[in-house]
Amino acid sequence: MKRIYITLFISSLFCTLTVLSAEVKERVGDDFLRINDNIQNDELRVELEKLREEFILEKARILEYYNEKIESLKENRRGEIKTIKKSFAGRREVLMKKYDGKLQKKSKIRSAEPVNNTPFKKKVTPKDKKRLRKSK
């Protein structure tokens, strides 16, 4: 029993060390316009930063434009679905009026005999029971 506990402890220790030693790379922003830290020229660094900010603004503008288009398309879809529902409801009413007298009527009288389509319960045999080990 002690061997099992020792083995479990050592394996859990190895697992936790593996998780703790793994490096987590955080990805912040786009690597497309990443500014190198080794650039010594301040003018170049400023120009690259301006270019990066401009890129971010253009990207945000494009995302906003397409989100607006998506919303307008969703509204159009909802409107079209509502008109189709109204059209089909009208057609349904016409069909109901056309076949008004021809509907089948359900009988409300039920038989007194119970339905015997339920499966039989399986009898539990001693072989099916789980054996319990005696503790020492």
Among the ranges given (45-49, 66-70, 119-123), the one the predictor scored with the smallest mean pLDDT: 119-123
CB proximity list for 45: less than 8 A, separation 6 or greater:
35, 39
**pLDDT, mean over the chain:** 79
Whether residue 101 is predicted with pLDDT greater than 80 in this model: the reply is: no
Pick the more confident residue, 22 or 91.
91
- Region of 29 (left: φ > 0; alpha: ψ -120 to 50; beta: rest) is left
Average pLDDT over residues 83-111: 81
What percent of the chain has a predicted confidence (pLDDT) above 90?
33
Per-residue confidence at 115, pLDDT binned at 50, 70, 90? Answer: low
Contact between 35 and 45 under an 8 Å Cβ cutoff? The reply is yes
Alpha-carbon distance 81 to 75, whole Å? 10
The Cα–Cα gap between 18 and 11 comes to 11
